[in-house]
Structure 1
Amino acid sequence: MPLELVTLRCLKDNYAYLLHSDAGTVLIDAPEAMPVLTELEARGWGLDAILLTHHHDDHIQAVPEIVAATGARVIGAAADAHRLPPLDVSVAPGEPLEVLGEPVHVIDVSGHTVGHVAFHFPNSAMAFTADSLMALGCGRLFEGDPATMWDSLSRLNALPGDTLICSGHDYCTGNGAFALSVDPDNTALQDRLSAIAEARIPCAPATLEVERATNPFLRPAALAPTLGMAGADDAQVFARLRRMKDDF
């Protein structure tokens, strides 16, 4: 049976996620303590672990307060351990990990930062991608380069289409406006943005299939002719799109 997913709005535009089963409860990223602790109390849940995707403050700053309140273990990337809160469990991409009785695939999604990881729960068809693959976009390249980020997005794009992509922020207004600027005739994109604006669907999470149809950073081959780059490889087109978004 798939894990129960609860999406939490934190800070100005962050998402954090609770996963729950009979085996317990875990949190993905810790932007802000109050929404997490309030939700746990309302549901009568404890907290067994916090999984951290990367070191930016708006994903880790509430770890000490939440750990103090719940006793949760902290799990994060070994490569990023020097700038994460103290880890109880260090993991590396490709190493086995089990959470709430399910196997978890740790995926290297460097680009936004070096050492950023995503957590893929294949049995429950969920991937927690934080600031790598985002709703209608991808993260800025603060530490990596376009080739690195394209490799990361390609790894995520290889997951099954029904995988729920649980990303780190609601940037749908800006991401959606940029997507429309480069892909104006995309009816799937138009429909998704209309549904988000009318609050009929959330900005995130969304399935990978939906992201493939509407997210310009997963559509370089389709957008290459529009950008005057027919025949260019996908990584080159992605790099152009990322520069355009930076200047948008």
Structure 2
Amino acid sequence: MPYTGDVEPGGPADTRELPQLTIRKLAVSAMHNNVYLLTCRRTGEQLLIDAADEAGRILELVRSGGPSLGTVVTTHQHWDHVRALPDVVAATGARTVAGAEDADALPVPVDVRVGQGDTVAFGQITLDVISLRGHTPGGIALAYADPGGPAHLWTGDSLFPGGVGNTKNEGQSFASLYADVTTRVFDVYDDDTWFYPGHGADSTLGAERPHLQEWRDRGW
């Protein structure tokens, strides 16, 4: 079946095969958190994005992709994205990666603290780190430059179909998040770039770009 990105909590993962990378997307919890497992097709090494909840299902997903998990990246510190992190790390021994400004708020020690311009590598795959400040101080996205096609972005709760992430709570900033999303994502990547958010459905930058001014005018 072709990849759609439409997954439901309790349901099966959806799988996308790129020439060098396999992407698996799983929905967990009543909050419809997305968990992403990336597998280097040449080496079998794996990286997980956001151990959000339901550690048992996440570990089953890891086993479906390969024998081990080397890295867990957390896109931001919010509780709904880290509930399974201690159990997944304990079961796999994976190194932990997070944005430097969010790292101390995570429920496990962070091995690698990253920011804008850094990279995270596993197997023969390299992901670029994009710092997106405003939903949390240390929120990050990850970008994969597929040599055979469009780029792929994992945006956490900083970018969704229809707008940027929530910035209505104390300590959050719409101005900061909007500025980072426009200058570091939309000004850098092409319209065919596919992005995978922390909840719900995927989208492309081309589908969202015409609405940027609308987002700015409404302030969310």
Tell me which interval the TM-score lies in, with the shorter structure as reference length: 0.7 to 0.9
Would you say 1:145 and 2:188 are equivalent positions? no
Structure 2 CA distance for aligned equivalents of residues 15 and 166 of structure 1:
9
Cross-structure match for 1:7: 25
What's the TM-score once normalised by structure 1's chain length? 0.70
Q: 1:97 aligns with which of 120, 123, 143?
A: 120
Which residue number in structure 1 is paired with residue 156 of structure 2?
A: 130
TM-align CA RMSD: 1.9
1:85-124 matched pairs, under 5 angstroms: 85-123=108-146
Q: Which amino acid in 2 is paired with 1:156?
A: V
Q: Is 2:36 aligned against 1:17?
A: yes
Higher strand share: 2
For residues 129-187 of structure 1, give each alpha carbon's deviation from its aligned partner in whole angstroms, at most 9, with x where no partner exists.
010111233211133322101112202112122222010012xxxxxxxxxxxxxxxxx
1:155-194 counterparts in 2 under 5 A?
A: 155-158=184-187, 159-170=189-200
1:77 counterpart = 2:99:
yes
The structure with the largest alpha-carbon Rg is 1
Of residues 156-165 and 92-101 in structure 1, the stretch that sits farther from structure 2 once superposed is 92-101
| Alpha-carbon distance in structure 1 between the residues aligned to 2:27 and 2:153 | 18
Query: In 1, distance between residues paired with 2:67 and 2:216?
Result: 42
Segments of 5+ residues of structure 2 without an aligned counterpart are 1-18
Greater fraction of residues in helix: 1
Secondary structure at 1:55 match in 2 = coil
Runs of 4+ in 1 over 3 A off after TM superposition: 42-45
Counterpart AA for 2:20 = P
Q: Deviations along 1:203-237, whole A, 9 cap, x unmatched?
A: 22x22222335xx4x2x1xx4xxxxxxxxxxxxx6
Amino acid in the other structure paired with 1:59: H
Is the contact made by 2:120 and 2:128 (CA closer than 8 Å) also made in structure 1? Answer: yes
Displacement after TM superposition at 1:88 (Å): 1.4
Tell me if structure 2 keeps the 8 A contact 1:26–1:49: yes
Equivalent residue, structure 1, for 2:15: none
Q: Give, as a single letter, the amino acid of the residue that structure 2 aligns with 1:157.
A: F
Q: Show structure 1 runs of 5+ residues with no match.
A: 171-202, 224-236, 243-248
SS in 2 for 1:129: strand
Do the aligned residues in 2 keep the contact of 1:30 with 1:61 (CA within 8 Å)? yes
Q: Which residue of 1 aligns with 2:206?
A: 209
Of 131-140 and 51-60, deviating more is 131-140
Q: CA contact under 8 A between 2:50 and 2:74: conserved in structure 1?
A: yes
Shift of 1:65: 0.5
Q: Which amino acid aligns with 2:103?
A: A
Q: Give TM-score scaled by structure 2 length.
A: 0.79
